Each structure stands twice: as structure tokens, then as C-alpha cells.
Amino acid sequence: MPAITNHMPTAELQALDAAHHMHPFTNNDELAAKGARVITRAKGVYLTDSEGVEILDGMAGLWCVNIGYGREELADVASRQMRELPYYNTFFQTTHVPAIALAAKIAEKAPGDLNHVFFASGGSEANDTNIRMVRAYWQAKGKPGKSIIISRKNAYHGTSMGSASLGGMSAMHAQGGMPIPDIHHINQPYWWGEGGDTAPEDFGLARAQELEAAILQYGEDKVAAFIAEPIQGAGGVIVPPATYWPEIQRICDKYEILLIADEVICGFGRTGNWFGSETMGIRPDIMTIAKGLSSGYQPIGGSIVTDEVAAVLDSIEFNHGYTYSGHPVAAAVALENIRIMEEEGIVEHVRDVIAPYLAEKWTALADHPLVGDTSIVGMMGSLALTPDKAARAKFASEAGTIGYICRERCFANNLVMRHVGDRMIISPPLVMTPGEADILIERATRALDETYARVK
Ligand code: PLP
């Protein structure tokens, strides 16, 4: 077989890809018919494909390349760490400096007394850890009956059996065996799509109170935890009404339910604070982290827990762990990523500079004839595409068709913007400049115009 390199013709790379590579969340037959876009390199907020075309990455990969592409410092740290200690585990009474240093740094950055980290290789594994953790926690506290975890419909918490069960994606559950027992879902706080004639504040309150109703239905002595993202990402960047989170917090406190904030997207600066829980005013007992922790340069995630949760779990042997928990190269890279974020004031850049700049332009897209709702918090935003703004109507065609067309038009205009049903979403690198934000808006506007021309 010839060496497969960036220099091969695109069609040959695509043919080999179609022959051997199964893509996630993809109909691989459909993809094979058109050929996958081959990305060969990236720098800052731009990707380059095998045809040499530069594409503005409005999604920071999969919501993860927070400090942008091509940071030599991370490559240097990875190379140094691989030479010094490429691998060792943290089982059997051993540890190593990268895991120690990263855990201590995360404890410093996380709010309140979230001071203890259990490492995983990504968000799905970390949420699986959380399922096991909350059940072990309540057992150790003499309440083994508390095993139910309540989540939300249209939530995304990962793709393993446990984390996909926590998630509320019906298309995933429909492919078999999910949710696993003792996981239940309440409705999401999606006012634009589901609020009807109710005022947003009343709707937010009502959706939060579904948690209380579920706790009363299943029994306070049976419910272990509630999990949610501070702002739903993969569900469509759904920003809950302001009444939602305070009520959820009140209910968790009242019934002694552990609150798990899935910060896999919201964490590490995306919402203009280090964590989305700070932006939304939540006090979680457990936080799931991944993605921005290493800016996606290495696969690493984890669960951060409070002093109280750690004290309970530390008193037993928690029979859980992954070969790559606290992997030294991943940990060293994550630590360097956080160092760069601190040194360059990237969270401040989001909060004070780029997020307000982008928000003004993003919100103005509401004037486009195709756009109803515009939502944006920090560097995560969404647009609801609608044929009738006043009625908040959905397109009559199959859900998502318009979003799919718009995503294709974005691609044709060298912009990565994703769609979730009829919502278009962005989550750009946090290091974006105002000039790059202008380009994003220009390309998005062109894609919206071209989509509108197809449906009006
Ligand atoms: N949780 C949230 C909120 C996510 O958005 C994701 C991935 O998109 C995950 C968990 C799963 O993370 P991973 O893909 O690293 O397993």
C-alpha cells in the first residue's frame, strides 16, 4: 500500500476513507457518495482542507479548541512529557507529577469547594464515572436506595451506554437498550420551541418544577442526583429562562439531591467565566469536564467533586477507574493549556472583548427574514430558523431539513456552523478576534441568504 499522506489527491483519500473509516453519527453510505471533506492542517481559527481552501471554524472542532489551533507550546509539552514519562497509571497506590499538578490546578480554578478530580479520557467516560460515583456515594452514606438520576430530554451527556442514557436524545435511545435502569428524563427549558403562550419566566419556573414533581413521584429516598448542562450545547445552544436555575438549585438543596453540572462544553471559558456554573449561578456537587480542559489537543476529561462528596468516597474503595485516568501526556498538555489561558487572559478576552462584540452582531441576525430566536452567551450561540417569526413556527418539511441546507451553504462559504434540527449553532475558538468575528458573521449571512433563496 502506498504511504497515505496530506499530499495524496483528495479523491483518493476520500475513497480510502469511505472504504475503511466509519464516521461517528453519520450515514456512511451517504457520506461515501459525496466524499468527506479532508482537513489537513489548522491555525488559529482556520482549518485548511486538502484542496488548500481555508475554512473558518465556527465550532472550534467539537466545541473544544478553546485556545485555537496550532499552539506550539502544547506540542512541545507533549513531546517533552512523552520522552520523560509517556505512560503510567494512577491505580495501585502510585501517582505522577502531571496528574498531581493538573488536579491541583483544576481545584484552584473550580468554584467553591470543588477541590477533587477523578480523571477520564473524555466527557462520556466522566459522566459514566458520575453515575457510578453518586450511587457509591449514597451507598457509603447508608442510603443505597438513592440510585435514580434525573436528566432532561434532548440533553447530550455522551455516547457510552451510561452517558447516552443520561442524555435525552431520542434517536440514540431508539437504537436499543437505553436508558439503562434508574435514569429518568424531565422536559428541557426550551422556551422558543416549547413555551407556547407562556411567558419565558413562568415557563422556566414550570420546567424546573418538573424536577420537584419527579422527585415526589419516584420518592426522595430513591433519587440520587440531577444532571444538566448549565446551557444545553448539542441540544441546540438552549439558554434557559433566568428563573430556571435558581429553582433547580432550590429543589436540589431541599431534597438533598446531588447536582451534577455537565461543563464539558461550558467549562474553561466558553461562557465568559471559567465555568458555566458561575455564569448561571449554580453550586454543583459534581462537575463534568473535558473538551476545553485541553483545548482538544489531548483526550482528557474528569469529574470534579466537592470536599463533602470526596470525603465520603475517600472513605471507601471506589471500584472504578480507566487505564488512561490522569494520563501523563494528556494531563501535561491540559496543564499547559490552562497556563496559556491564564497568561493570555483568555477568559477575560471572552468576557470583556470578543463575546460582547460577537453578541451584538449575532443578535442583529434576528433581522434576517429566516431567523427567529437568536441566543448567545459567551462564545456559544444559536439561531432558530423559522418561516414565521411571530408564531415561532417550525418549517413544515421534515425537521432539520432547513438546518441541513443552511449547514451546507455555510460549508460552501467556507464556514463551519453546525445545525441541530432547525437551529444553527456556533461555538468558535475563544481566541477569536473582532475581525474574525466579522468574517464569521459575513459568511453566516451569505449562507442564510442562500438558504432563504431556496425556501422563500
Ligand atoms: N457532555 C457534553 C455536554 C457534551 O457536549 C459531550 C460531547 O459533546 C459529552 C458530554 C461527551 O464527551 P465526549 O465526546 O468527550 O465523550
**Over its length of 456 residues, how does the chain's per-residue pLDDT go in tens digits?**
779 999 899 999 999 999 999 999 999 999 999 999 999 999 999 999 999 999 999 999 999 999 999 999 999 999 999 999 999 999 999 999 999 999 999 999 999 999 999 999 999 999 999 999 999 999 999 999 999 999 999 999 999 999 999 999 999 999 999 999 999 999 999 999 999 999 999 999 999 999 999 999 999 999 999 999 999 999 999 999 999 999 999 999 999 999 999 999 999 999 999 999 999 999 999 999 999 999 999 999 999 999 999 999 999 999 999 999 999 999 999 999 999 999 999 999 999 999 999 999 999 999 999 999 999 999 999 999 999 998 999 888 766 789 999 999 999 999 999 999 999 999 999 999 999 999 999 999 999 999 999 987
Q: How far is the CA of 290 from the centre of ligand 1 (A)?
A: 7
Task: Tell the residue number behind the cell numbers 468575528, with chain if given.
Answer: 437
Q: How far is the CA of 344 from the centre of ligand 1 (A)?
A: 26
* CA 238 – CA 248 distance, rounded (Å): 16
Q: Which atom of ligand 1 is nearest to the CA of 63?
A: 8
* CA 169 – CA 152 distance, rounded (Å): 9
Q: How far is the CA of 197 from the centre of ligand 1 (A)?
A: 33
Ligand 1, atom 12: closest residue by C-alpha: 123
Beta bridge partners of 289: 302
Q: Which atom of ligand 1 is nearest to the CA of 62?
A: 8
> Does ligand 1 have an atom closer than 6 angstroms to the CB of 265?
yes
Q: Which residues of 214-237 are buried (b: 16+ CB within 10 A; e: fewer)?
A: bbeeeeeeebbbbbbbbbbbbbbb
- Give CA angle at 420 (200, 446), nearest 5°: 100
Q: Which atom of ligand 1 is nearest to the CA of 127?
A: 10
* CA 288 – CA 120 distance, rounded (Å): 10
Distances (CA, A) of 260 to 172, 224, 283, 365, 414: 22, 10, 9, 34, 37
Confidence (pTM): 0.98
Q: How far is the CA of 212 from the centre of ligand 1 (A)?
A: 26
Q: Which residues contact 307 (CB under 8 A, 6 or more apart)?
A: 113, 115, 116
Q: Which atom of ligand 1 is nearest to the CA of 290?
A: 15
> Which ipTM did the prediction report?
0.99
> Does ligand 1 have an atom closer than 6 angstroms to the CB of 233?
yes
Task: Tell the residue number behind the cell numbers 458520575, with chain if given.
Answer: 130
> Does ligand 1 have an atom closer than 6 angstroms to the CB of 264?
yes
